[in-house]
Chain A
Amino acid sequence: MDVLASLGDGFVVALTWQNLLLALLGCLLGTIMGALPGLGPSNGVAILIPLAFTLGLGATPALILLTSVYYGAMYGGRISSILLNIPGDEPALMTCLDGYPMAQAGRAGEALALSGIASFVGAFFATWGLVFLAPQLVKVALLFGPAEYFALFTLAFATLGGIASTNQAKAAFAAALGLGLATVGVDGQTGVPRFTFGEVHLYDGIDFLVAIVGLFALSEVLIFLEHRGTDADVTGRKIEVGRIVPSWSLVRSCIPTMGRTTVLGFIAGVLPGAGASLGSFISYSMEKRLVDREGTFGKGDPRGVAAPEAGNNAAAGGALVPMLALGVPGSGTTAVLLAVLLALNITPGPLLFQNNPDVVWGLIAALFIGNFMLLAMNIPMVGLFTRVLLVPPRLLMPVVAMVSFVGIYGISGSSFDLQVMVGFGVLGWVLRKLDVPLVPVILGTLLGNEMEANLRRALTISDGDWSVLVGSPLAITLWVIAVVGFVLPILFGKVLKRRMRMSRDEEGALTD
């Protein structure tokens, strides 16, 4: 098994003091960010990317830090779901349904511990899935030529809005906006400047890190400013944790649930356009249908806590598969992680496994180690994180803004970039108000140049014949998936979204 041998090498890379320390730091910061409402995995990672750079970390350590934050945030999201009935991030939405009723019944500690175990199971087995599935996908990816890559990028954009997207026109707009931003600067193939308006600062193009931090982090600050005083006082609520160690029989009763939802979540994560939110939603709905005979789901059933947590953590691991193997992320946070790779001058995709095996396997090994750290942090030390929820956003958000500024300034040292970042913050706020998804914008700025290069390469090879884009069965398959992925949400998106909202509102009405 050369996969296991590679994994062994990965552990050699990961098991240095520096990397272990970074993984620990990442897990800790990630859990805190996940637990705080308003800061989720994508903006958490976004804020930390510039810092990882300015600290001069190498590729592997930087990735270890940031993916630990990613995994940590997926764990942390459940804490405020259970204790406050406010999801710490979007994937943790479903955890509110049974987590909060359990907390109200004085079983918050058990719910936290159980969901911690479920998170561990989901993430742990999904990482194994990553180990075995990614190299297989790489073999397929090696068959891709420029035309197939162009189709694959289109597929990524077409499905990114997700099955629960309500307005595909807005997803398309966002993608075009991002791709348009990517074309600013000197054209990589002919050397002519495009859309620079004679401004020297723009010749290098717009730095995608500036765009990401502005869109994700600063717009969050503006949103908080807008909603000030409406939901800010939740932090004053009393938090009773109660007994932390769940009984073995409770854990055992949830084992079948965790097993099923891990598989389901992993698949949802790997597939384009699904992601962690949908992973946890499908997991919860399936378990409800399968095992909820007495109608206890939604009233504090432990299985209803385990299902979405195992599901969303497995999906988080699954989402790394297409990101590492194809270089095409399927979710917001993996898009941000892709930015990390690109900024480190590492091209993800099939060649990554050949050229930088130390990076890939070191990263995967670090994920395993991080998982155990997270389990340790999230069960005995969960009380520590519940304290973090007491920090009011009015003190926290300015810190977020300032750390964003520090990070970007550290990279470029230019006030101009900071102003562009503020501009992106405002743009992000407006787009969020108009319900335009931000992730396609980010993905567009990240992948735009690569996508255009592949299109032009394909047409150069075919001597200008456009039919080359549908010239192989593989390309045709990708186009078909892209079209189906784009059209399906138009037909079903509204129904699905309404159901996700409804199940939450229903339970909300019962519990409040």
Chain B
Amino acid sequence: MSDRVFGGVGLALAVFYIWQATLIEESFIQDMVGPKMFPFIIGAVLGLSSLWFLLRPDPSPRWPGAGRLFEIGMAVAVMVAYTIMLPELGFVIATAIASAYLTWRLGTRPLQSVVAGVATSLGIYVVFRLILGLSLAKGPLGF
């Protein structure tokens, strides 16, 4: 069943891709093939392979339960929040929070997670900023 859904999504993607390719504006001077042909070929391969999944699906993989899916969704949300907060909070604080969260959700006890998160953040800061001199995001506090 998963493969049929996947095939449907793939097919929709292929149609959308080819439709977008027809909208590419061509310039007045161009080579024999032009900028549309290659996307058409790719779109065709994408569509044909998606059709194959629809017609001959593999057995479904074991999807995680709702709880685990929520878990993964939350982790993704935290990572996105991290990318947004990085310039606001600065590298050290944002990273400490994000890695503490991930460590906690991977099965560490809460207090230890906080310690691990802070240690990870400071460790990366020392190695990459102080030793290797990489530019990391600076927050209001300067680190």
Q: Which of A55, A394, A397 has the most CB of B within 10 A?
A: A394
Q: How many residue pairs, one in A and one in B, have C-beta atoms under 8 Å apart?
A: 183
Across the interface, B120 reaches (CB within 8 A) one of A189, A191, A402, A413, namely A402
Across the interface, A173 reaches (CB within 8 A) one of B49, B75, B117, namely B49
**A169 in contact with B49 (CB, 8 Å):** yes
**A192 in contact with B25 (CB, 8 Å):** yes
Complex Cα spacing A459 to B32, Å: 7
The residue on B at minimum CB distance from A397 is B106
Across the interface, B33 reaches (CB within 8 A) one of A194, A409, A413, A460, namely A460
Across the interface, A172 reaches (CB within 8 A) one of B49, B91, B116, namely B49
**A398 in contact with B64 (CB, 8 Å):** no
A429 within 8 A of B: yes
**B17 in contact with A180 (CB, 8 Å):** yes
Residues of A within 8 A of B32 (CB): 456, 459-460, 463-464
**A189 in contact with B134 (CB, 8 Å):** no
Complex Cα spacing A195 to B35, Å: 11
A207 within 8 A of B: no
**A398 in contact with B116 (CB, 8 Å):** yes
**B38 in contact with A415 (CB, 8 Å):** no
**A397 in contact with B102 (CB, 8 Å):** yes
On whether A180 and B42 interact (CB within 8 A), knowing A192-B26, A401-B99, A403-B124, the answer reads: yes
Q: Report the contact-size class of chain B (Cβ under 8 Å from the partner).
A: 35 or more
* A contacts with B: majority SS: helix
A190 within 8 A of B: yes
**B76 in contact with A190 (CB, 8 Å):** no
The residue on B at minimum CB distance from A404 is B79
**A224 in contact with B35 (CB, 8 Å):** no
Residues of B within 8 A of A183 (CB): 38-39, 42
Complex Cα spacing A460 to B30, Å: 10
**A180 in contact with B39 (CB, 8 Å):** yes
Residues of B within 8 A of A224 (CB): 106
The residue on B at minimum CB distance from A187 is B35
Residues of B within 8 A of A179 (CB): 42
Residues of B within 8 A of A484 (CB): none
**B31 in contact with A190 (CB, 8 Å):** yes
Complex Cα spacing A167 to B2, Å: 15
Complex Cα spacing A413 to B39, Å: 31
B52 within 8 A of A: yes
Measured CB to CB, the closest approach of chain A to B111, in angstroms, equals 14
**B136 in contact with A406 (CB, 8 Å):** yes
A266 within 8 A of B: no
**B45 in contact with A176 (CB, 8 Å):** yes
Residues of B within 8 A of A176 (CB): 42-43, 45-46, 49
The residue on A at minimum CB distance from B77 is A422
Complex Cα spacing A189 to B37, Å: 13
Complex Cα spacing A313 to B49, Å: 34
* B contacts with A: majority SS: helix
**B45 in contact with A401 (CB, 8 Å):** no
Measured CB to CB, the closest approach of chain A to B138, in angstroms, equals 11
Complex Cα spacing A175 to B46, Å: 9
**B31 in contact with A433 (CB, 8 Å):** no
Residues of B within 8 A of A410 (CB): 128, 134-136
On whether A226 and B79 interact (CB within 8 A), knowing A172-B45, A456-B31, A460-B33, the answer reads: no
Residues of B within 8 A of A433 (CB): 2, 61, 63
Q: Report the contact-size class of chain A (Cβ under 8 Å from the partner).
A: 35 or more
A346 within 8 A of B: no
List CB contacts (< 8 Å) of B2-36 with chain A: 2-3, 6, 10, 17, 20-21, 24-27, 29-35
Q: Mark B62-96, 1 if CB is under 8 A from A, else 0.
A: 01100010011001100110111011000100010
**B49 in contact with A170 (CB, 8 Å):** yes
**B106 in contact with A398 (CB, 8 Å):** yes
A225 within 8 A of B: yes
The residue on B at minimum CB distance from A191 is B27
Measured CB to CB, the closest approach of chain A to B106, in angstroms, equals 4
Measured CB to CB, the closest approach of chain A to B2, in angstroms, equals 6
**B49 in contact with A229 (CB, 8 Å):** no
List CB contacts (< 8 Å) of B98-118 with chain A: 98-99, 102-103, 105-108, 116-117
Residues of B within 8 A of A218 (CB): 79
The residue on A at minimum CB distance from B75 is A225
Across the interface, B30 reaches (CB within 8 A) one of A189, A397, A418, A463, namely A189
Measured CB to CB, the closest approach of chain B to A213, in angstroms, equals 13
**B83 in contact with A422 (CB, 8 Å):** yes
Complex Cα spacing A195 to B39, Å: 10
Complex Cα spacing A433 to B58, Å: 12
Residues of A within 8 A of B21 (CB): 194-195
Complex Cα spacing A399 to B119, Å: 10
**B86 in contact with A222 (CB, 8 Å):** no
Residues of A within 8 A of B63 (CB): 433
Residues of B within 8 A of A452 (CB): 38
The residue on A at minimum CB distance from B112 is A395
Residues of B within 8 A of A54 (CB): 134-135
Measured CB to CB, the closest approach of chain A to B105, in angstroms, equals 6
On whether A394 and B108 interact (CB within 8 A), knowing A192-B25, A195-B20, the answer reads: yes
Complex Cα spacing A394 to B37, Å: 47
In the assembled complex, 15 residue pairs joining A and B whose CB atoms fall closer than 8 Å, in A order, are A170-B53, A173-B50, A187-B35, A192-B24, A192-B27, A195-B20, A224-B106, A225-B68, A226-B71, A226-B72, A395-B108, A402-B98, A415-B87, A456-B32, A456-B33
Additional pairs, 14, CB under 8 Å, beyond known A192-B24, A194-B39 = A169-B56, A172-B49, A190-B26, A190-B27, A192-B35, A222-B76, A225-B106, A398-B116, A399-B123, A401-B79, A415-B83, A419-B83, A425-B76, A459-B32
* Contact surface of B with A, Cβ cutoff 8 Å: 2-3, 6, 10, 17, 20-21, 24-27, 29-35, 37-39, 42-43, 45-46, 48-50, 52-53, 56, 58, 61, 63-64, 68, 71-72, 75-76, 79-80, 82-84, 86-87, 91, 95, 98-99, 102-103, 105-108, 116-117, 120-121, 123-124, 128, 132, 134-137
